[in-house]
Amino acid sequence: MGTRSTARISDHVAACKRDGFARIPGVFTKAEVNYLRAQAILACHGGNIEIRDGFPCLLFWPQSTYMQELARDRRLLDIVSAYYGHDDYELETQQYYFHLPGDPDEFAWHTDERFRPGVGNLYLQTAILVDDWTADNGAVEFIPGSHRQPFLNSGDLRVFIRGNRRGVRLLAQAGDVLTWSNTVVHGSERNTARQARGYFMNGFRSRSLADC
């Protein structure tokens, strides 16, 4: 685990608004994320789970009391409130990604507007990291500042083609919280490491526009 961030939440929010994404180190403890991993595995039984080539990839709206409580944890909501500048928002999406070693999953360059066109800055994605994100295990790559530029979402979402785009692999540690804009361009390659890259995503939609 890394050390807890000494920067104010407002500094991370400013980075997210400037670049389209940000990392807040050490928000949750190792014990908390280890328990989160166990809860996600248990929630697979009878849950809405996507499986690709025999690998559990994506769990939608996990039926776990602990995971629901974590989505309402004040440490997470303080970040979201600071981003929007108010508390008038609601939890809209909830997903757990496994990204196990050998998992074939990858994601093309895209923005989250692909799933919610026209929403713009009303939506903020958050991710609680359960495992470290490294260069080898498919850390998500973001293009800084791309949230302020038009982007055409097209092609197969689950096939990463780099083309001429180069971004920043967001390397991070278990317990960190990541945030990113609905309109920032990002993508990820396959996990070629021997370590999983699990994370718990909670997406929030504001009822009034954020200045970002």
Structure tokens at 45: 């039984």
Would you give the DSSP letter of residue 211? -
Domains of the chain, first to last = 9-206 (2.60.120.620)
Provide the mean pLDDT of the chain.
Answer: 92
At residue 212, does pLDDT exceed 70?
A: no
User: What is the gyration radius of the CA atoms in the chain, in angstroms?
Assistant: 16
pLDDT for 2 equals 38
| pLDDT tens per residue, range 132-159 | 999 999 999 999 999 999 999 999 999 9
pTM more than 0.85:
yes
Residue 68 burial (CB count, 10 A) = 15
| pLDDT tens per residue, range 2-27 | 344 446 899 999 999 999 999 999 99
